[in-house]
Amino acid sequence: MTEDIRALSAQYAADPSSLVFLRLAEALRRRRQLDAALKIALQGLSRYPHLPEAHDLYARILTDKHDYANAFDEWDTVLRLSPDHLGAHKGIGFLYYRAGEPDHALYHLRLAAELDPGDAGLRAAVERVAGGEEIWEAPMPEAPPEREEEARAVTVAAGDPFAGLEGAEERLLLVDQDGFRLGGGLLSSDGVDVSEAAAAVLAGTAREATRAARMLELGEWGHLTVEAAGVGVCLLRPTPDTSLLCTMDAGLPAGQLSFFAERAAKAARAWLERVR
Amino acid sequence: MTTPYGAMLDSLTRLRGIRGVLVVSMEDGLVVAESLMAGMKGSPIAALSATLATRVAELTGSSGHGLPRFLHLQGGDGALLVAPAASDLLLVAVAGRDVPLGLLRLEMLRMAERLT
């Protein structure tokens, strides 16, 4: 194994942009050299951010490091990129089982077993979680249990992220990556509540900003500011999976809008940390 | 630069830290005119700028604030600036890091008014 790692390291050093990082990091992981594995996996991910195998590998390393929350997010990313990814379904199934959510665990483990029917260990795991062999006679659910909706409901029930901030209900709007309103509110210049309409477009706008910044090599984007009729608008991402819109009268200095937006982003981050 | 916009774009690219300036058709994301540093490709800049400007217009429209007058996407290594103009055109600039954007913004807004 040591020689394998040496050989793989040499290959990786000769061509850092190759996919050999997957094998090298996996070899290091199996040797329990987790920090080294993590470093290689992250280097690979920075080059191949849309490669499901890279996220899957990273998730396995995070799991070995007992960082289950981030591992879950990584496998969730894998399933967004590749919905039938065997490793991600197994991984998420394991994490759900570990978290005491057998229904969700079972859904993902059964999907994994369908993808790899020859894996006897996986079949045994499904039967163990289900409590018997008769699980195979039950129809496979078409969709996972409504965890995401539940999580959103919990988040929204946790109060407003901008409570106490000026303009919390009319000039600040926080949405998740699917455009679901998490907090705040937005009024048009004539006082109409436009929160839902803006929320629907906000996440997509943030995704376009991310794409433009990446492809034009602008680095990670910090803010998108917009001047419109009578209003200044600032769009930020308090976290990678949320978007925040702040508006302010156009007559005020641009610096004041930035300050206001940064303050709101900080409040949103603190609130998200609390509710998550 | 042989287009009618040549002199206008060249005056912007002379500003410090500007990597490129383009006139873009917002509807189809195509380059109408460009003045770019060597190695930069106009087509992706045009397409991305037009898509972003369209999205932002939807956003400001849906929130009752009308059409955008100026967009500024700030990244860690540079910035993208877009000034919508008449006739469905966009004036687009890509700037490097630590570029003072105040003068550039003013120049772009002034030129966008003249774009037809």
A147 pLDDT exceeds 60?
Answer: no
Handedness of CA A168, B52, A180, B60 (dihedral sign): positive
State what percent of residues in chain A have pLDDT above 90.
Answer: 42
* Element at A128 (helix H, strand E): helix A120-130
Secondary structure (DSSP) of A219-246? -SEEEEEEEETTEEEEEE-SSTTEEEEE
* Residue bearing tokens 């999907």: A111
pLDDT tens string B64-90: 888 899 999 999 999 999 999 988 999
Residues of chain B found within 8 Å of residue A208, distances taken between Cβ atoms: 48, 51-52, 55
Report the C-alpha gap between A224 and A245 in whole angstroms.
10
Q: pTM of the predicted model, to two decimals?
A: 0.61
Residue A1 pLDDT: 47
Report the C-alpha gap between B90 and B112 in whole angstroms.
8
CA angle, A67 as apex, A63 and A72 as ends, to 5°?
70
Residue B98: pLDDT band by 50, 70, 90 thresholds?
confident
Most B CBs within 10 Å, among A218, A225, A233, A237, to test the B interface = A218
B12 pLDDT exceeds 80?
Answer: yes
Handedness of CA B44, B46, B48, B49 (dihedral sign): positive
Q: Does B17 touch chain A (CB under 8 A)?
A: no
Distance in Å, alpha carbon of A150 to nearest chain B alpha carbon: 28
Cβ–Cβ under 8 Å, residues B34 and B21: yes
A149 pLDDT exceeds 60?
Answer: no
Cβ–Cβ under 8 Å, residues B48 and A211: yes
Q: Across the interface, which of A211, A222, A229 has its CB nearest the CB of B76?
A: A222
E-strand stretches of B9-109: 18-25, 31-36, 68-75, 79-84, 89-95
pLDDT tens string A65-96: 888 878 888 898 898 888 899 999 999 988 88
* Residue bearing tokens 């409570």: A163
